[in-house]
Structure 1
Amino acid sequence: MTEILSFNNVSYSYTPDNPDARKAVQNVSFSIQQGEWIAIVGHNGSGKSTMVKLVSGLLFPQEGEVRVMREVLTEDNLWEIRSQIGMVFQNPDNQFVGATVQDDVAFALENSGVPYEDMVERVHKSLAQVKMEKFLNHEPHHLSGGQKQRVAIAGALAMRPKILILDESTSMLDPQGRDEVLKTVRALREEIGLTVLSITHDVEEALYADRILFMNDGKKYAEGTPTEIFALGDKLVEFGLELPFAMRMTKLLQSKGVQLVGEHMTEEELVNDLWTSNFNK
């Protein structure tokens, strides 16, 4: 496995001259291997947004180091490393600059001096990858929220990044739009081995990840698989996060006397257990 991103004892304070001030990120270490999907979860103020800024070079650590492709991120290599990172933000309407879908996907390519023939090929390929090739000449503001985010992902993919960062990119979508985006990202990961870093407070989105980093008060409180993290149960609730819907429903049903085996993170697991334990007799 190839390490593609790492934090090594990274700390950052927005008020470095005040030694008593709380650090936005404090002594955080983790690494991501090529092809992994890592989710960083936590309540507002837990340090998630600061970590995104540190990855993208908008901020630099005051302690520790950030490495991308095993290379320490500095002001000297900032633009080279940024070219390896694609980002999809929270509000899709704030990301569009082109009059049509294909114009928007081509925007960054054109600014980067990509030759026209290559640019056309990349636009068509990236839109096909997110199943939006039929919308080439559509105006972005006529699309649904999920479609807009898929176009934003296509714009990122066209630049051929090594890492795709989803910065609360499903938080403004309805359930259908969120499902569209997450299924698209999962398919891309399987198809081209894309490395994904998602920043979210949505626990349902975090279930898609291989590993979860749970942040609290600027510190990495826990790290593990979704099963390991959500096994913390009420501790997550105490720190301002909800448990996945299926886990909450499992607890509610058990409190009403319904026989269930263990806890369930997905609705499919819950339905299967309900059927096996209570109806298939």
Structure 2
Amino acid sequence: MTEILSFNQVTFSYTPEVPEVRNAVEDVTFTVNEGEWVAIVGHNGSGKSTLAKLMSGLLFPNNGEVRIMRDVLTEENLWEMRSHIGMVFQNPDNQFVGATVQDDVAFSLENNGVPYKEMVERVHQSLQQVKMEKFLDHEPHHLSGGQKQRVAIAGALAMQPKILILDEATSMLDPLGREEVLQTVQSLREKTGLTVLSITHDLEEAMLADHVLFMNEGKKYAEGTPEKIFALGDKLVDLGLDLPFAMKMTKLLQAQGVQLVGQHITEEELVNDLWTSNFNK
């Protein structure tokens, strides 16, 4: 597998002149391979968003290295490295600058000097990828929350990035909008091999990832598959995260004497176990 992004013993402090203040990120090491979906989870203040800023060159480490495409991220190669990264933030309204959907998607392309004919092709292609091609002339602010984020994703895709970073991109959406965005990202990965990093406190979203990095107080607390991270159970709750619905329901049912085998990450697993253990005898 090809390494596309890595952190090597990265430490960052917003107040390095005050050593008694805890570092925002401390001695963090991890690797993301091309085509992976990696979720970075943790409670507010755990260092998740600081990691996103370090990835995109909005911040630089006090110690350690950030590598993009195996090259160390520096002030000298910052703009070249950023060309490989697309970012979608928490509030889509803060990202819109165009009067229409197509104007907004074209904005970054125009600023980067992409020729007009190619720009039109990229705008249409990226909106097709997120199933928003019918909204070319709509005003972004009149769209639903999920549609807005899909347009924001289209704007990132139009720049043809290698890596898509979702920084709490679903946290302000209703369940339908959240589902729209996550299904869009899943489909894009399957069709294009896009590498995805999702910064989130939502363990339901983290379930979709190949790999999960769990941050706590600026440090890497745990790392592994979703199954490995969810096996921590009540420790996740103690550290400020909410368990997936299926895990909470499993605990409640077991407390009522319902026979179930272990924990369940997904609702499908829970239903199958209920059927097998209690109704298919």
TM (normalized to structure 2)?
0.99
AA partner of residue 59 (structure 1): L
Shift of 1:243: 1.0
Matched, 1:187 2:191: no
Shift of 1:259: 1.4
Q: Give every structure 1 segment of 4 or more consecutive aligned residues whose post-TM-superposition deviation is greater than 4 Å.
A: none
Match of 1:53 in 2: 53
Match of 2:170 in 1: 170
Between the aligned partners of 1:148 and 1:216, the Cα distance in structure 2 is: 31
Match of 1:105 in 2: 105
Match of 1:256 in 2: 256
Shift of 1:254: 0.7
Match of 1:232 in 2: 232
AA partner of residue 20 (structure 1): E
Match of 1:246 in 2: 246
Match of 1:74 in 2: 74
Shift of 1:151: 0.6
Q: Deviations over 1:149-185 (max 9, x none)?
A: 0110000000000100000000000011101100100
Between the aligned partners of 1:158 and 1:278, the Cα distance in structure 2 is: 51
Between the aligned partners of 1:269 and 1:179, the Cα distance in structure 2 is: 19
AA partner of residue 247 (structure 1): M
AA partner of residue 155 (structure 1): G
Shift of 1:242: 1.0
Match of 2:142 in 1: 142
Match of 2:219 in 1: 219
Match of 1:14 in 2: 14
Matched, 1:86 2:86: yes
AA partner of residue 34 (structure 1): E
SS in 2 for 1:108: helix
Match of 2:156 in 1: 156
Between the aligned partners of 1:253 and 1:230, the Cα distance in structure 2 is: 18
Shift of 1:268: 1.3
SS in 2 for 1:278: helix
Shift of 1:280: 2.6
Between the aligned partners of 1:11 and 1:124, the Cα distance in structure 2 is: 41
Between the aligned partners of 2:78 and 2:86, the Cα distance in structure 1 is: 14
AA partner of residue 96 (structure 1): F
SS in 2 for 1:187: helix
Shift of 1:276: 2.0
Between the aligned partners of 1:109 and 1:19, the Cα distance in structure 2 is: 42
What are the residue-to-residue correspondences of 1:112-123 with 2, within 5 Å?
A: 112-123=112-123
Runs of 5+ unmatched residues, structure 2? none
Between the aligned partners of 2:89 and 2:18, the Cα distance in structure 1 is: 31
Between the aligned partners of 1:9 and 1:140, the Cα distance in structure 2 is: 41
Match of 2:206 in 1: 206
Identity, in percent, stands at 79
Between the aligned partners of 2:142 and 2:14, the Cα distance in structure 1 is: 39
Question: For this pair of structures, how many residues does the alignment match?
Answer: 281
Shift of 1:19: 2.1
Between the aligned partners of 1:272 and 1:99, the Cα distance in structure 2 is: 49
Matched, 1:129 2:129: yes
Between the aligned partners of 1:14 and 1:141, the Cα distance in structure 2 is: 34
TM (normalized to structure 1)?
0.99
Match of 1:42 in 2: 42
Q: Deviations over 1:3-37 (max 9, x none)?
A: 00000000011111122221110000000000000
Q: Deviations over 1:199-257 (max 9, x none)?
A: 00011110110010000010000000000000001111111111111000000011011
Between the aligned partners of 1:205 and 1:44, the Cα distance in structure 2 is: 16
Match of 2:197 in 1: 197
Between the aligned partners of 1:134 and 1:127, the Cα distance in structure 2 is: 9
Between the aligned partners of 1:254 and 1:10, the Cα distance in structure 2 is: 42
Shift of 1:279: 2.1
Runs of 5+ unmatched residues, structure 1? none
Shift of 1:270: 1.0
